[in-house]
Structure 1
Amino acid sequence: MKIIKPTPLGVLTRPHRAAGSEHLGVAIPMMVTLGETPRLVSESELWDTVGAELAGFPLDAALPKPRAEFLLSARAYGRYCDHTNTCRVGIRFAGVEKALLVSGERRWAGSAPSAAEPFESLAIDWPLAFGGAGYADNPRGRGFHGVSANSERSQQQLSQPLPNVEYPAERLRGPGQIVTPGSFTPIAADWPQRRALYGALDAQWRESDCPGFPCSMDTRYFNIAPTDQQFPALDAMPDGAAYRIVHMHPEQPVITGALPPLRARCFLQRQSEDTLAEIPMRLTTVWFIPHRERAVMIFHGIAGIREFDAQDVACLLLGAELSGEPRSAADYRRTFDRRMDRKHGALHALRDQDLVPPALLITADDASTDATSHDALERNLQQRARQQIERARAAGLAPGAFDAAPTQPPRIDQLAEFVEQQERIAQEQRAALEEKQREIEARHAASGMGKRVNPPTTRRGPPALSRDGAASRRADRKKDPSHLEIDADKKLRETYRHAVQYQEAAPRLDTAAGRVLQERVAAAHARGESLAGWDLTGADLSRMSLRGATLSGALLESADLSDTDLTGAVLGNAVLARATLVRTAFARTDLTGANLSLAQCDGTDFSDAVLDRALFENTRFERCRLTRASVQRTQFRDCRFLSTDFSEATLSDLAFIEQTFDTVDFSRASIRKLAFIQCTLTRVAFASADIAGFGFVETVASGIRFDGAILRKACFVKESVLDNADFSQAQLSEVNLRQVRAHGANFSGARIDQCDFSDARMRLADLRAAKIADSHLVRTDLSGANLVRADLMGASMRRAVLHGANFREANLFRADFAEAAIDDTTQFDGAYLDQANFHPFAKAAA
């Protein structure tokens, strides 16, 4: 579900079942400042404040409340106490008034409470109200001692502290007295005040409403405030309700004001539909936090949905407006379309004013600081410009020669318009330039000169450097000023190494020059000399033995290394772009950071080589061996892999995008963070591989093998295809296979833990003897699947399609088959079905 909203608004959603059908509850919390001029604050402040101030209470359950209500997360302050160290706190809001007394610590002094001790501040919450163990209406409180025949225990109970928070008319006067607990905070769901409203979990509930709310439930259960903070006659707060809060701020004895007259708007778009349906929203809850001078306004709405987990909901659009200034549905539709735009949607998301009244927006806490520093910098630059203009004028230049219009960077909420304007300007300038070019070419043609020919601008080969790298071995840099040339040499080499594949190919050396260079290389290697940094561009080094050679940083673009033995060589940061590497031996070779783009790798042996941080762009691998190679943070772009062996290799931090793999073996490899995005994999095997962090996105991998593999924290998403895949005897943990297509896949004997197969299509899949724990198969199509002797204890298979599925002798203890599609062809012979749930049954197709 995608959420489109302005930054000040939060959102909570709750799919739930009630009255035999599915619903989506939506709550939109927005935090406002208290006082004469209320403003909306950021969502980040909302959640930070909620986490710090709500004492563990959830902000809201996103369930429809039949009554409006208010709550307070508040403190009483000793500075407002009278001579008895007692403080009266209270609130009057929308016509409802409530007061409580807060006193310091007290205990029984005989049969009467002791004098209250002074206090600085105390939370007005249930733990400090009347109650305690055994008192159902407030088991978290203090002062309730129950009935005990044990005098020692009774004496111990009497020594416990008395309630600090009380109703003025019901103060605790003596032991054994029962008073009404007082607080401004929510009532727990399991306390009798609310539990009595829940309804009965009877046969009707099991057959029709499970696991939702029973039909016999009184919806007042969703109201969480004490009854004296509810509005029985109102299902929504009135616009701009006034409040008066007394003695619950450390510095302000009284806080008065009115809530902003805000309305929430919410629109829902369903999957495969274009229309936006509005969900009516009501302001049902206000949660005051007086000492923070904040209040959270919570709007509720509810919509009917088809799927129990709201999978059929594609998007929610949220907004807020002043009650007297409503926006049309067409305005919201335009905003929706702008924010869904692939090109500029992210920029339009910065425009809060499209979805919330600009007058209510509050600036970020550090905005003033940033603005001040920005203004100071701008003033300094303008002052310097004026000084330079004055000097220019003194030198006799024209007074207006250096005048420039003041510039102002766009605000963040103006970026969308600014970028669109700049694109229009750029498009107009391109059109003007193209027109000018056509005019020039027409004049050339008319003058008889023909079409203008541009001089060649592309370059080939490496930059003009010493061919043997001697420049890099000059005398001490501190004594030789030529170190500047060395720096330039290094920078040019580095640039060339990264970008060689984007320039025209360097030519091969002619036969004579190639023979001379080959002899020099052979002689230097025979003497044990380093070949690091040598320029061997276009050289023919085929069939040579360069075992153990040091060629780091060497330039070997377009070189022929066919049948060359480079076993154990060092080629770190070397350039091998466009090199011919047919049957080249790179076994145990260090190719860290090397560029092998556009290289021809046919029969190349990279076994035990180090390819970390190397670059392969438009490289073709055919019949190559990379067994036990280290391939970490390596870049592969537009490559093709045919009959390539990565078995037992170490691969990490790799992403393959739009690349093809045919007959590639990753068996027994150690893999960390590997992604295939829009790739095609044919006859690819990860058998017995150890994998942690693995992603398939829009990738087709029919017949892929993971048999015996260990697969942790993986995802196969966005219409990935795993038809006939083999996961037999594999161990899968925290794997996401939602919506994947895996018809005929083999999971026999697999150990599957905390995995999600929801909405997957797995017809004729083989899950024999698979152990599936804490996993979801919601709406999974398992038609004709074989689950004989599978362990599905506690599995969630709600609305799964199970026509023809075979669960013979399977462990289905506490499995959930609610609304699953089951018919006469579904087999449960010998299955263990204790506490398995089949209610509610699937509805007959219309």
Structure 2
Amino acid sequence: MRTVKPLRVGVLTRPYGYLEQSRLGVMAYTLIDFNGPEPRLVPEAEITTHLLPTMDCHGILDLILPKTRPEFLVSGAAYTAHQQNKTQCAVRVKVADKEKSLLVFGDRYWLDHRISDPQPFEQMPIVWANAFGGAGFDENPEGKGIGRQLINGVWTTPLPNIEIPTAQISSINQRPKPAGFSPVMINRPRRYKHVGNFSDIWMKTDIAGFFPDMNTRLFSAAEADQRWTDKESLPVGCAFSVWNMHPEQPCWTGTIPNWIARCFVTRQNRQGSEAFLEVDLKPTTIWLLPGIKHAIMMYHGSVAVAQTYAEDVLAIVAAIELPGQPREKAWYKEIFERRSDLETGALYALRDKDLVPKSIIGDWHDTRPVDTGLLLENAGKREQRIRAEMGSKISGTGLDSRKIMPEFTGPQFPISGEYLPELHDRMQRLQHASEQQIGEEKERIKKALAENPDTDPVLFEKMQDVVDGKIPDSAAEDLKQAMQRLEQLQADMERQWQEEHQTDRIGAAGLPDREQIHQTMQQMKKINLYSAHFLPQGIAVSQHICNQKRDLVLERLRRGMDLRELDLSGANLTGLTLTAADLTGSDMSGANLTDATLDGANCSRVLLTRSKIENTSLRNALFRETNLGATSPSRADFTGAQLSAMVLQHSTFSNCNFENSSWDEVVQTTSAAFSNCRFDSATVNKTIFTECRFANSSFARGKFSQVAFQVNTLENITFENAALISITFVASTLRNVNFMHARIEGASFTYKLNIDTCSFQGAKIKNSSFNRTVLNTVDFSDAVMLHCDLSAATLHGANFAAVKATGSIFRRTDLRLARFVAADLTGCNFQQADMRGTDLRRANLCTADVSETWLDDTSHTQGAFLKYTKLYPLRKQATHFWEPSDEQ
């Protein structure tokens, strides 16, 4: 269930059944800060992260069941700071017309059947552990007053610290009612007595719901004297007062806010259409936290649902309004759709004002401006310096720099979470304008080139030298002299620093040394390695240069030299034998490797973008951090090759052989395509295929571990006898894919999968999920499916003949016309499954759950083994029912 809510409103849901009706309980809650002049809302996450452990509720905020009577709760401690007597005090709480008092004492003990004097205390937590109780006392087993303890070498019985003023303890044999303001746990007898009684009718018709004679007072957590029996909702707008429960304030007073909680759900009907419905919420609980002057306000309600566990409710929206300022239902639907957008929805996460009135939003991180600090201050100064330099250069050309670079005017854009959507829109507009301007400039250049087609041959040769990475002699000499001057200056400054400071280095001097320059160059090279396939194709290398580079390779091979770090871009390497060659770090982009042999070659960090790889042998070659993007290898042999962290984006492989190859952490695969390729016995680890296409290819006997297929298309593919461990298929199309006799563990076939004519016949599948997946006519016959989740899947006409599906879940699954003949379904959960026309003859359903299954006259259950099978409750729409034989 998707949840859309502001930071300052919490919302919890719980499905339940009552009187043969399925409903969804809804509870919205807020944390209110009363420390300021007016109450304000603060993020509800503070409750679970900081407050809940101190609220004496065993970590349970609420049962999320609709309370029919409003109530108040109090969590905190008693303080003696406001009186002379430090051994005891009275605490009192008044909410509207309800008032309750308690007496609080320091530690006391029974000594010779008399009560010792209470010891002084500064604060005493008002919790059930300090009220009357003890081992064997069901009303409060965690309390004190029953059972002896060894204290300071003396066996004695402690007395409770908290008592009811009108029922104080006077005898060690007394069993008074525990005193407190905290919620009463549901298993305490005084609350559990409302649960109702068991009956056979209930078991057969409504076993998932509460007993029909259940008293709804079971849902109330407060003691009876903290509830209003004559009201259906809290007396909002009324005052409350708490005495002696704040360390500095004798009496804390306030008013229950009259804020209104709104809640909407998106509910899906049987036809698949969705309705946006409002859930009526009433203020039912005020939970005071006087020690910090906060309070928790709870609103309860419920809505009818079609499914027992409310699977038909897809989303929920929660908000708070002020009285007299209602917002339209359409507004909340718009906010829901806006926040549900996968691309921009997260931008609204900190924008509480859409769902909470701004006047009651309390201070928190999202309301404070971001501390820009020195970083943005320095960036601003740098911007001014750059603008001044560029303005000076522009003015030197005779142009008006003020028109080209206008000064910024107007207020600064606010930097806070509230304005993230506007900031995003602004950046999108700027990006669009920039792209439009670049596009116009490209068109202008193309037009100019078309009007002036002639090219100076000498100029073209110089440009080609630049493309080929050659540095003119004059430039090379200048660079060499510059490096020498830089080194001399560095040495002089180091010597001066040592004389003045007696240190070895001048790390603060800020001059780049050779190591820094080398690191920078390596970083730039790495950036180029991983992004070259995104760049437009450069100027074609001349045939003369291509042949020169071929001669260079042959000469180095003749001398026994390696081929590392060479510029072989566009080189003509057709037919060459480069077996075991070390090509590490070389640029081979656009190179022609047709009919070449690179068996066992080291191609680590090699740039192969747009290279021509046809009928090329690359057996046992090493591709570590290699960029093979934007290439189209054909009939290439990668048998035994090692592919690690390489780039395959926008590449198309056809008729290639990857048998026995190993893939490790290959994640840059977007838009790669593989057709008529063989991956038999390949090992693939920690690899992600994104938006890829596989056609007419084989992964038989392959070993896959932690591999994801995201938005892929797989057609006519076989994984026969493959091992698929922790593999994931997401939003992909699988058409005629064969998983026969594969071993599949921890796999996920979920989320927007389109599976057609696939076979898992004889496969061994364990701990895998097909949740909500459409698997019509898929063949699982003779498969072993241990503890798999097929809940809410569509398996219309699927074949499960002779399957062993021990412990698997088919809850709410569409199994119409499916075949389970002679299947072992021990311990399976078929609750609420649609089994109309399903063939379950001779199936073993021992210890399975077939409650609420939908059978009709076309369902076949003859010979099904139903010993220890859960048959109830029955489904109301069913026209055929399970009939266990007398032997069973």
Same fold (TM > 0.5):
yes
2:42 is the alignment partner of 1:41: yes
Coordinate RMSD, CA, aligned: 4.2
| AA matched with 2:658 | R
**Displacement, 1:427?**
7.4
Following the alignment from structure 2 to structure 1, what is the Cα–Cα distance between the partners of residues 601 and 438?
Answer: 53
Q: 1:182 aligns with which of 179, 182, 197?
A: 179
Residue 92 in 1 paired to residue 97 in 2?
A: no
Range moving further from structure 2, 42-51 or 635-644: 42-51
Deviation at residue 582 of structure 1 after TM alignment: 2.6
The question of whether the paired residues in 1 share the 8 Å contact of 2:53 and 2:59 is answered with: no
Aligned match of 1:408: 412
The structure 2 residue matched to 1:197, chosen from 194, 199, 206, is: 194
Task: Give me the whole-angstrom Cα distance separating, in 2, the residues matched to 1:86 and 1:821.
Answer: 68
Distance 1:38 1:713, change over 3 A: farther
Look up the equivalent residue of 1:659 and give its one-letter code.
R
SS in 2 for 1:500: helix
User: Which residue of structure 2 aligns with residue 560 of structure 1?
Assistant: 592
Residue equivalent to 2:329: 329
Aligned residue number for residue 149 of structure 1: none
* 1:742–1:765 Cα contact (<8 Å) kept: no
Give the direction of change, closer, same or farther, for the CA distance of 1:402–1:336 in structure 2 (3 Å limit): closer
Instruction: Return the letter of the residue paired with 1:63.
Output: L
**Residue identity in the other structure for 1:718:** K
1:687 to 721, 735, 742: 721
Q: Deviations over 1:47-80 (max 9, x none)?
A: 2134432342311122111100121222223545
Shift in Å at residue 335 of structure 1?
Answer: 3.5
Kindly state the Cα deviation for residue 548 of structure 1 after the two structures are TM-superposed: 1.5
* CA drift at 1:569: 1.5
**Is 1:612 paired with 2:616?**
no
Query: Which amino acid in structure 1 is aligned with residue 611 of structure 2?
Result: A
Aligned length: 820
SS at match of 2:332: helix
Cα separation, 2, equivalents of 1:423 and 1:106:
70
Deviation (angstroms), 1:292 = 2.9
TM-score w.r.t. structure 2 length? Answer: 0.82
Supply the distance in 2 between the matched residues of 1:822 and 1:61 (Cα, whole angstroms). 38
| 706 and 39 in structure 1: CA distance in 2 versus 1, 3 angstrom threshold | farther
1:278-357 to 2 correspondences below 5 Å: 278-340=278-340, 344-357=344-357
Q: What is aligned with 2:583?
A: 551
Please tell me the residue identity of whatever aligns with 2:665: Q
Instruction: Name the SS of the counterpart of 2:813 in structure 1.
Output: coil
Shift of 1:217: 0.9
Amino acid corresponding to residue 3 of structure 2 in structure 1: I
* Bigger mean CA offset, 187-196 vs 746-755: 746-755
**2:678 alignment partner, one of 612, 636, 645:** 645
Does the residue aligned with 2:644 lie in a helix, a strand or coil? coil
Further displaced range: 416-425 or 43-52: 416-425
Structure-1 separation of matches of 2:551 and 2:810: 67
Q: Which position in structure 2 is the counterpart of 1:522?
A: 554
Corresponding residue number in structure 2 for 1:265: 262
- Cα distance in 1 for partners of 2:172, 2:600 equals 89
Residues 170 and 311 of structure 1: CA distance in aligned 2, closer, same or farther (over 3 Å): same
Go from structure 1 to structure 2 and tell me whether the alpha carbon gap of 1:161 and 1:453 turns closer, same or farther (over 3 Å shift): farther
1:463: Cα distance to partner? 4.1
Most deviating of 80-89 and 417-426: 417-426
The letter of the residue matching 2:253 is T
Report the Cα distance in structure 1 between the residues aligned to 2:862 and 2:77, rounded to whole angstroms. Answer: 60
Which one is further off, 775-784 or 536-545? 775-784
Structure 1 residue 540: Cα displacement: 2.7
Q: Deviations over 1:344-372 (max 9, x none)?
A: 5444454321211101101215865x556
Distance change in 2, residues 1:606/1:380 (3 Å): closer
For the structure 1 residues 461 and 725, does the alpha-carbon distance in structure 2 shift closer, same or farther, using more than 3 Å as the test?
farther
Q: CA deviation at 1:127?
A: 2.3
The answer (yes or no) to whether the contact 1:775–1:796 under 8 Å persists in 2 is yes
Change (3 A) 1:97 1:657: same
Q: Counterpart amino acid of 1:112? A: R
| Range that drifts further, 190-199 or 296-305 | 190-199
What secondary structure sits across from 2:706 in the alignment? Answer: strand
Q: Deviations along 1:714-770, whole A, 9 cap, x unmatched?
A: 242214315433163423215243233242331634242253432332523215241
Instruction: Please report how far the alpha carbon of residue 233 of structure 1 lies from its aligned counterpart in structure 2 after TM superposition.
Output: 0.9
Deviation at 1:700, TM superposition (A): 2.5
Q: Measure, in 2, the Cα distance between the counterparts of 1:241 and 1:717.
A: 50
Partner of 2:9: 9
- Structure 2 partner of 1:30: 30
Q: Which deviates further from its counterpart, 787-796 or 295-304? A: 787-796
Separation in 2, partners of 1:399, 1:719: 57
Q: Where does 1:143-158 land on structure 2 (aligned, <5 Å)? A: 143-144=145-146
**Where does the alignment leave 5 or more consecutive residues of structure 2 unmatched?**
392-399, 488-513, 880-888
| Aligned twin of 2:628 | 596
Query: TM-score, structure 1 length as denominator?
Result: 0.86
Partner amino acid for 2:644? D
What whole-Å deviation, never above 9, does each CA across 1:822-845 have from its counterpart, x for those lacking one? 545331514133151331323259
Confirm or deny that 1:575 pairs with 2:580. no
C-alpha separation in 1, matches of 2:791 and 2:464: 53
Q: Evaluate the alpha carbon distance shift between residue 239 and residue 328 of structure 1 in structure 2; reply closer, same or farther with a 3 A threshold.
A: farther
AA in 1 matched with 2:201: Q
Tell me if structure 1 keeps the 8 A contact 2:144–2:159. yes
Query: Offset of 1:796 from its aligned partner?
Result: 4.5
CA gap 1:85/1:315 in 2 versus in 1, 3 angstroms: same
Equivalent residue for 1:586?
618
Q: Please, which of 724, 737, 751 is the counterpart of residue 771 of structure 2? A: 737
Residue 841 and residue 235 in structure 1: after superposition, are their counterparts in 2 closer, same or farther (change >3 A)?
Answer: same
Match of 1:755 among 782, 789, 792: 789
Aligned to 2:884: none
Flag the 1:587–1:842 CA change in 2: closer, same or farther, 3 A: farther
CA contact (8 A) 1:676 1:699 kept: no
Moved more, 170-179 or 795-804: 795-804
Q: Is the 8 A contact 2:813 2:830 kept in 1?
A: no
2:359 and 2:683 map into 1 onto residues whose CA distance is 60
Provide the secondary structure at the position in 2 that maps to 1:302: strand
Would you say the 8 A contact 1:794–1:814 is kept in 2? yes
* Letter aligned with residue 40 of structure 1: L
Worse-matched range after superposition: 422-431 or 330-339: 422-431
Give 1:341 shift: 5.5
* Residue type of the alignment partner of 2:413: P
Aligned counterpart, 2:62: 60
Kindly indicate whether the alpha-carbon contact (under 8 Å) linking 2:587 and 2:607 is maintained by their aligned counterparts in 1.
Answer: yes
Cα 1:507–1:583 shift into 2, 3 Å: farther
Instruction: Give aligned-pair identity as a percent.
Output: 23
Match of residue 663, structure 2, among 622, 626, 630: 630
Between stretches 206-215 and 427-436, larger displacement belongs to 427-436
Change (3 A) 1:117 1:768: farther
Per the TM alignment, residue 253 of structure 1 is displaced from its structure 2 partner at its CA by 2.7
Residues 145 and 176, structure 1, Cα contact 8 Å, conserved in 2:
no
1:729 to 1:284, Cα distance in 2 relative to 1, 3 A: same
Distance 1:671 1:492 in 2: 33
Cα deviation, residue 428, structure 1: 8.7
Matched-pair contact (CA < 8 Å) for 1:461–1:506: no
State how 1:354-393 maps to structure 2 within 5 Å: 354-365=354-365
Q: Does 1:73 align with 2:75?
A: yes
Checking the alignment, whether the CA contact within 8 Å between 1:724 and 1:746 is kept in structure 2 is: no
CA contact (8 A) 1:84 1:115 kept: no
User: 2:844, 2:89 → 1: CA distance?
Assistant: 65
Alignment of 1:195-234 (within 5 A): 195-234=192-231
Give the partner amino acid of 1:172.
I
Measure the CA separation in 2 of the matches of 1:81 and 1:774: 65
Measure the CA separation in 1 of the matches of 2:714 and 2:318. 39
Alignment partner, residue 688 of structure 2: 654
Distance 1:744 1:650 in 2: 26
Shift of 1:105: 2.3
724-733 vs 354-363, which moves further:
724-733
Is residue 132–residue 145 contact of structure 2 (8 Å, CA) maintained in 1? yes
Structure 1 residues 660, 371: CA separation in 2 closer, same or farther (over 3 Å shift)? closer
